Structure 1
Amino acid sequence: MWLQKLSVLNFKNYPEAELVFSPTVNAFTGDNGAGKTNLLDAIHYLSLCKSYFNPIDSQQIRQGEEFFMLQGVFDKDTVEEVISCSLKKNQKKQFRRNKKEYQRLADHIGLFPLVMISPYDISIIIEGSEERRRFIDNVISQTDNHYLDELIAYNKSLQNRNALLKKISETGKYDPDLLDIYDEQLIASGTRIFEKRKLFMDAFLPVFNKHYQYLSEEAEQVELVYDSLLLTENFGSLLKRSVERDRVLERTTAGIHKDDLTFSIHGMPMKKFGSQGQQKSFLIALKLAQYSFLQLKKGFKPLLLLDDIFDKLDDKRIQKLMQMVSADDFGQIFITDTSRSRIQRIFEGIGVEVSIFEVQKGTIK
């Protein structure tokens, strides 16, 4: 699978643009703020129905305009697929595949899989557990079209249970039968999500370790651990054991919404003891493992988007990374960088052709 053509209209800083891509490596070069990353985000929209950076769709509309429109022509098993996304202010986002509108955006997720690596990803290491759960959920949802439905069901049950706990605190009236109903709903979807996360991590960990050892030339010992209370206790007993605490705090304190990933280097927390280069290598290995997992599950190569990837990496790691992603295991790649000459030098050095697009304030050469 690869993206042949991208058209944008009133998207972020672009009044209008149309690009035709190479099926191998494509690079967007230009100054910071020129709009290189916006092109990656447009591709992300067409794959996953949303921006990678900003959840508010209306804020993607170019300033002074009333709508934006994106269209991509994909080659999938030599069959052309036309995907389009449009949004008018104060209206519902429209998403179409071959001119037919989706009734549910979830039905599109996973058809055109994609992995993005961006400086924004540092939040996976330095921020709270929600970011790491989002990473897991993003990968699984691109391979399992029921997973998003389970997440939606779980979050709805969680909201209902929390609202009941708050009402119990406010009124002093405890309704154990209603709480049991919400517990059963939470347990049903939560247990299925846990099992899928556990299976995913079992397959994901060896691939992650292989990619990190390659990037670091086996010079560093890192560890990635899935942390869930459900690994040692079933969900039902967890809820019963924590019910008094939940009533005091007016929220559900145990469940898969508390799952986390633990990252370490040489036995110490990556967040505190990893250098910027080590943290970036860790993130890149995470995302490349995501790519390998998606390719294994889907049976074809996803798109790979690399945003400002060379910052904080030494030359040796840069070359190893580019050699890896330019090999046969990877498909179409999109890269942004401020330096055209650096892009040319890197890919000449490994003997790989690259199509370069020069971006200047919303225009493309």
Structure 2
Amino acid sequence: MFLQKLQLVNFKNYENSFFEFSEGLNCIVGKNGSGKTNLMDAVYFLSLSKSSIHNQDVLSIKFEEDYMHIEGVFCKENSELITCSMQRGGKKMFFQDKSPYERMGDHIGKYPVVLIAPDDTDLIRDSSDTRRKLFDGIIAQLDSDYLKTYQVYNRTLDQRNSLLRQFGEHNYFDEDLLNIYTEKLLILGEEIYQKRKTFVEDFLLIFKKYYAFLSEGNDEVHIGYKSDLASANTKNLFKASLAADLAAQRTTKGIHKDDYEFTMDQMAVKKFGSQGQKKSFIMAIRLAQFEILESQKGFKPILLLDDIFDKLDEKRIAKLVEMIDNNSFGQVFLTDARENRTKELLSEIEVRFHVIA
């Protein structure tokens, strides 16, 4: 699979731009602030129906414009036209070959992408929410049923939290009404927990392989899945937390509190890992993400490498270039502000350059 053509209208700093890409390595070069990362984000947006940078879709509309339009041709066995349109203040719409999707979730996973970005080490430093989003995003590209269940869980969680706030604001309590949402959260949460647990078990072996390749060291790395639902009796878990839920006016236990623990030699990478070890850890996660997507989809995802030459040391750059040269990846997009450096590092590889003014 690869993205052959892309048109951007009022997407971030692009007023009306058209691009054609090669099936292999595409290097996007230009000065800082020219829009290299925005072009990468457009590919990500068209593939996953959201920005990799902003949580609000409206922030992707060009300043002082009323709408945006992204259109791309993906090639698998046949060419497929994917279109995204959105009016400021309106609803985002996605179309495949000019036919609208009945559910936005039906688009997720059809055109998978993997992004390696400069701020990826935030996955180690940030809160558990960042790590849940990472792994939920991977699983959602693999399993459309997981995405549906996850979305229903979040809606049910919002309803339960709203009810808990009503109890606090109006000083009353209806246990039977609350239990309706509690029981639903238990059923949905158990399904999500089992899928996350199975995924991490499969993912871990691939991740360790890539960490060893990148680091050439003997560090014993691990990703541990931590969940409230790992306890034997989840019903008792919610009963025991009822007083805390009423006091906080929100659901304090459940799979929305899960975390993924990154360790090296049984110590937290966040506290004890060097900068190089952290970079290898995250890059190994991304490469494992690529392999597991390829394995289950039957084709290679698109790989986005944003500004990595400024953030990685020579050893890790060499490893990545080695993988590109060995055709480990399919279509690759790579950004760099220094065109000459890129040409030197990739002198032995066939590259299509796109200069952003």
TM-score (norm 2): 0.95
- Contact 1:276–1:312 (CA<8 Å) still a contact in 2? no
CA-CA distance at 1:65 after TM superposition: 2.4
Distance in 1 (alpha carbons) for counterparts of 2:93 and 2:342: 36
Counterpart-to-counterpart distance in 2, 1:171 and 1:65? 44
Looking at structure 2, the residues matched to 9 and 155 of structure 1 have their Cα atoms a distance apart, in angstroms, of: 33
Deviates more, 1:194-203 or 1:65-74: 65-74
Task: Summarize the Cα distance change of 1:220–1:163 in structure 2 as closer, same or farther, 3 Å threshold.
Answer: same
2:21 is aligned to 21
Report the more deviating stretch, 264-273 or 254-263: 264-273
Distance in 2, matches of 1:175 and 1:326, equals 63
Distance 1:30 1:146 in 2: 41
Matches within 5 A, 1:293-304: 293-304=292-303
Residue number in structure 2 paired with 1:117: 116
State the match for 1:142 in structure 2.
Answer: 141
Offset, 1:203: 0.7
Q: Equivalences for 1:101-112 in 2 at 5 Å?
A: 101-112=100-111
Note if contact 2:139-2:199 (Cα within 8 Å) is conserved in structure 1.
yes
- Contact map agreement 2:227 2:259 (CA 8 A) in 1: yes
The CA distance in 2 between the partners of 1:122 and 1:316, in whole Å, is 18
Describe how 1:102-251 pairs up with structure 2 within 5 A: 102-251=101-250
Q: 2:112, 2:302 within 8 Å by CA — same for their partners in 1?
A: yes
8 Å Cα contact 1:106-1:148 kept in structure 2? yes
Distance across 2 between alignment mates of 1:240 and 1:297: 39
CA offset at residue 253 of structure 1? 1.4
Change over 3 Å in CA distance of 1:27–1:161 after alignment to 2: same
What is the alpha-carbon distance in structure 1 between the residues aligned to residue 91 and residue 336 of structure 2? 34
Q: Which moved more, 1:24-33 or 1:216-225?
A: 216-225
Residue of structure 2 equivalent to 1:60: 60
Moved more, 224-233 or 29-38: 224-233
- Does residue 41 (structure 1) correspond to residue 38 (structure 2)? The answer is no
The amino acid of 2:352's aligned partner reads S
Using the TM superposition, give the Cα deviation of residue 325 of structure 1 relative to its aligned residue in structure 2, in angstroms: 3.7
Task: Measure, in 1, the Cα distance between the counterparts of 2:29 and 2:91.
Answer: 33
Is the contact made by 2:204 and 2:222 (CA closer than 8 Å) also made in structure 1? no
| Equivalent residue pairs, number | 357
- Are the equivalent residues in 1 in contact too, given 2:115–2:303 (CA < 8 A)? yes
> Larger deviation: 9-18 or 273-282?
273-282
**Alpha-carbon distance, 1:126 to partner:** 1.1
In structure 2, what is the Cα distance between the partners aligned to 1:304 and 1:345?
A: 21
C-alpha contact 2:72 2:82 (8 A) present in aligned 1: yes
1:346 is aligned to 345
Question: Percent identity among equivalent residues?
Answer: 45
Q: In structure 1, what is the Cα distance between the partners aligned to 2:55 and 2:243? A: 36
Query: Which shows bigger deviation, 264-273 or 41-50?
Result: 264-273
- Cα distance in 1, alignment partners of residues 181 and 261 from structure 2: 30
Quick one: structure 1 residues 326 and 243, their matched pair in 2 at CA, closer, same or farther if it must change by over 3 Å? farther
1:313 aligns to 2:323 (yes or no): no
Any conservation in 2 of the 1:28–1:358 contact (CA below 8 Å)?
Answer: yes
Q: Structure 1 CA distance, aligned partners of 2:181 and 2:234?
A: 13
* Alpha carbons 1:277, 1:312 under 8 Å: kept: no
Q: Deviations over 1:114-144 (max 9, x none)?
A: 1111123232111111111101110011111
Letter in 2 for 1:359: I
Distance 1:32 1:266 in 2: 39
Alpha-carbon separation, structure 1, partners of 2:71 and 2:134: 26
TM-superposition CA deviations, 1:226-265 (whole Å, max 9, x none): 1112223342221122222222222211110110011123
Residue 230 of structure 1 contacts residue 256 of structure 1 at CA under 8 Å; is this kept in 2?
yes
Provide Cα deviations, 1:240-293, integer angstroms capped at 9, x if missing partner: 222222222222111101100111233332222223332222211111111111
- Kept after mapping to 1: 8 A contact 2:118/2:311: no
Q: 1:219 Cα deviation (Å)?
A: 4.5
Mapped to 1, the partners of 2:283 and 2:12 lie a distance apart of 27
Contact kept in structure 2, 1:29 and 1:36, CA below 8 Å: yes
> Residue 239 of structure 1: SS of its match in structure 2?
helix
SS in 1 for 2:232: coil
1: CA distance, partners of 2:103 / 2:222: 38
Matched residue type, 2:351: V
Partner of 2:356: 359
User: 2:8 and 2:258 mapped to 1: Cα distance?
Assistant: 38
Q: Name the SS for the 2:137 alignment partner.
A: helix
Secondary structure of the residue aligned to 2:308 is coil
Q: 1:281, 1:258 → 2: CA distance?
A: 26
> Is the 1:46–1:72 contact (alpha carbons within 8 Å) kept by the matching residues of 2?
yes
Superposition CA RMSD, Å: 1.6
- Give unpaired runs (5+ residues) of structure 1: 361-365
Whole-angstrom CA distance in 2 between matches of 1:183 and 1:56: 30
1:322-342 alpha-carbon deviations (Å, 9 max, x no partner): 212443332110001112122
